Amino acid sequence: MAQPRPVPEPRSLGAKSYILTAYRSGQILAAKHIDREIAPASIAKLMVSYIVFDEIRRGRLSPRTEITVSKKAWRMDGSQMFLEVGDQVSVDQLLHGLITMSGNDAAVQLAQYIGGTTHTFVVYMNRYAKRLDLAHSHFANVTGLPAPGEYVSAADMAHLYTALLRRFPGLYHRYFDQRSFTYNGIKQYNRNSLLWSDPRVDGGVTGHDETAGYHLAASARIDHMRVISIVFGARSSRARKHECGALINYAFRYYRSATMWPAGRTIKTMRIWKGAADRLPVIARGAVNVAYPRGQRAALVYEARLPERLIAPVHKGERLGRLRVLYDERVLNSVPLYAGATVKPGNFVSRMRDDVHLLLGA
């Protein structure tokens, strides 16, 4: 068995907060002040993107849908895709304007079309935040422009980014990794400059607030390992790129990712008493993934915490305990365990037989 060896801590970064997570397992690989509430700036458009993608997935919206540009969208300050009042623009174009160009006008136009008003759409944003358990996030507008009572946290945005990528992979790859987009004769470049310097990076969003600083959320992948890197409050656009990239480099240098059990695979078989069957498969809900120190897979230890005795009936999907994956006595991942089948009560004879065994201390 490989001997456990410590993974060095990542070097200290100047950003106010940051988080590095393994996408498939959700493990936190590096962190600093991950629940600190900070002005989101254009990172708020990550939630706008999530809601628009959800509307498309539910069939209530199509990328081909044509929308007439409103005066409110046209008048927006800050970053723009340069919409003109009365123009017919497709949802597809607006999504490029929102994500590639970080256009405030695109955010407003999409919000007005879906919510009727931007105010109603902000209500949707906060409902989605609650549904996704984003405990340290609250939105006040659709653009991320400075507003009282508006904040997000690095941990929440990593969770939102993961949820968006997991739920809408096709739409994510269609819109998030575009380096440039041209609308109205104006070509603009994605503010996530890691797309040019690091071929592992396939998407992200940026933000800047005069008080909060420079933000960058990005995702990168090598083979079967993907990570989410979030940096909030860096000193400059160059610093946010450098620090977000440093976290990504740290992840791929010191960690690897593996599926320990595919979805539906039996993890353990339990003895079940007084049932129509005497063995019960125990499974996880979905695949069991883990990010582990590079070269140390053989040093991983698995621990299933389950009831000492299990009495029928047990229904498929019933929660039974937890599986922990440990490295050098440190828990890397922990997932609930469930019954993989239904076991009904046995007949009278089998129940009496098992009663005897249990009385004798089986």
* CA distance to 262, 264, 282, 291, 322, per residue, from 287 (Å): 4, 7, 13, 13, 14
Alpha-carbon span 141 to 66, nearest angstrom = 23
In angstroms, how far is CA 141 from the centroid of its own chain? Answer: 22
**Catalytic residue numbers?**
42, 45, 102
Q: What share of the chain is helix, strand, coil (3-state, %, to 5)?
A: 30, 30, 40
Contact 335, 322 (CB under 8 A): yes
Structure-token match 């125990």, residue found? 282
Q: Which residues face 227 on adjacent strands?
A: 22, 220
Task: For residue 314, give both structure tokens.
Answer: 């047990």
**DSSP labels, 183-239:** ETTEEEE-S-THHHH-TTEEEEEEEEETTTEEEEEEEEEETTEEEEEEEEEESSHHH
Angle between helix axes 91-99 and 104-115 (nearest 10 degrees) is: 130
Task: For residue 40, give both structure tokens.
Answer: 């989101």
